[in-house]
Amino acid sequence: MGGIAPTVIVPVHDAFDVLGPCLEALLTTIPANTPVLLIDDASTDPVVLPLLAQFTARGGSSWRLIQQQENKGFVATVNLGMRSCTSDVVLLNSDTIPAGRWLEGLCDCAASVERLATATPWTNNGEIVSLPEFCQANPLPPNPQKLASVLRDCIDPEYPEIPTAVGFCMYITRNSIDTIGYFDEETFGHGYGEENDFSMRARAAGLRNVLCDNAWVGHVGNQSFGPKGLQPDNQSMQRLLEKHAGYREIIDHYIAADPLQERRSEIILQLDIEGVALV
């Protein structure tokens, strides 16, 4: 992984049961000295902070922990993380399971795609980037590490364009932040819709949102800050449509067309050849 490493930002609010597996997977799958920033958004569960401190110590000098004394919500927490570094960033939900060389895949994507704003990997539960079933909450596969290894070693990436990043795991370039700014705290408050808004602003600025189609990160879903993805809640959707009137039409058209259908079929076939079960 050449160049300046991105900072992996993990916003945390409770959800202890999924937090440990996420951080263990993160620690064991990223290259040494990758900057990691854990931000506790005033978790109420007393066992969360000691766990974060434990992993920060295990991660060494490249891992940092910020504890917020007041609950700020997902958007403000992420913005704090992005303002706390000068590199590209990877936003990683605390209910994810990073697998294989996922981060190297995202970095290769960032180095290869011109005018990149965001890159999102495949997952089991990520709406338009879900495997095997499109726009479905698929279960976690039996062997995430083998699945991710096959994607990395056997799939030549195409980095197809997608209309919006999906918030469970998204690579964001510093150039896009410098160009269009941070997440919109004022409009989206505690979350739901901010990554869609960011993606739409990036598109308007001539930047690109792509799928990193040779990387995979598992997603338990519905934990911590709640589900983050393609469809915001009703109130946030209204706010999103006030800013981007064509958003729903863009997404509906994309889902109806399903341009990734052939790509998913190719990957599922390759996984089958390699003996990797998806469910």
For residue 223, pLDDT over 60 is answered with no
User: Residue 83, class by beta-carbon neighbours within 10 Å (0-12 exposed, 13-18 middle, 19+ buried)?
Assistant: exposed
- Please name which of 175, 241, 233 lies closest in space to residue 207, comparing C-alpha atoms: 175
Q: What is the pLDDT of residues 62-95, one digit of tens each?
A: 999 999 999 999 999 999 999 999 999 999 999 9
For residue 197, pLDDT over 70 is answered with yes
- Please name which of 52, 142, 135 lies closest in space to residue 94, comparing C-alpha atoms: 52
pTM of the model: 0.95
pLDDT tier for residue 227 given thresholds of 50, 70 and 90? very low
- Number of helices (H), then strands (E), belonging to the chain: the values are 11, 8
Q: What is the pLDDT of residues 50-64, one digit of tens each?
A: 999 999 999 999 999
Q: Give mean pLDDT, residues 167-196.
A: 94
Residue ranges covered by each domain of the chain: 7-273
pLDDT tier for residue 46 given thresholds of 50, 70 and 90? very high
Q: Give mean pLDDT, residues 141-164.
A: 97
- Please name which of 118, 124, 143, 158 lies closest in space to residue 266, comparing C-alpha atoms: 158
Average pLDDT, the chain: 94
pLDDT of residue 236: 81
Q: What is the pLDDT of residues 22-42, one digit of tens each?
A: 999 999 999 999 999 999 999
For residue 19, pLDDT over 50 is answered with yes
Q: Give mean pLDDT, residues 115-120.
A: 98
pLDDT of residue 268: 97
- Please name which of 172, 248, 253 lies closest in space to residue 210, comparing C-alpha atoms: 172
pLDDT of residue 221: 80
For residue 229, pLDDT over 70 is answered with no
CA distance 171 to 173: 7
CA atoms in the 13 A half-sphere facing the CB of 267: 29
Q: Give mean pLDDT, residues 145-163.
A: 97
CATH number, domain 7-273, options 3.40.190.10, 3.40.50.300, 3.30.540.10, 3.90.550.10: 3.90.550.10
pLDDT tier for residue 233 given thresholds of 50, 70 and 90? low
For residue 252, pLDDT over 90 is answered with yes
In 10 A of CB 44, how many CB atoms?
Answer: 8
pLDDT tier for residue 226 given thresholds of 50, 70 and 90? very low
pLDDT of residue 94: 97
